[in-house]
Structure 1
Amino acid sequence: MEKKKFRKKPVVIEAYQTNKEMVIHTLEGNHHASVGDWIITGVNGEQYPCKPDIFAKTYEPVE
Structure 2
Amino acid sequence: MLRFDQNTLPQLEFQTAVKRPIPIRCAQIPEPFEVKTLEGIMKGKAGDWLMIGIDGEKYVCDQDIFKRSYQLKKN
Would you call these one fold, judging by a TM-score over 0.5? yes
Distance 2:42 2:22 in 1: 23
State the shift of 1:22 in Å.
1.4
State the shift of 1:50 in Å.
0.8
Q: Secondary structure at the match of 2:17?
A: coil
The CA RMSD measured in Å over matched residues stands at 1.0
* More RCO (CA 8 Å, sep 6+): 1
Scaled by the length of structure 2, the TM-score of the pair is 0.77
Q: Which has the higher strand share?
A: 1
Point out 4+ residue stretches in structure 1 off by more than 2 angstroms: none
The residue type equivalent to 1:54 in the other structure is I
How many residue pairs get aligned? The number is 63
Scaled by the length of structure 1, the TM-score of the pair is 0.90
Sequence identity percentage:
33
Gaps of 5+ in 2: 1-11
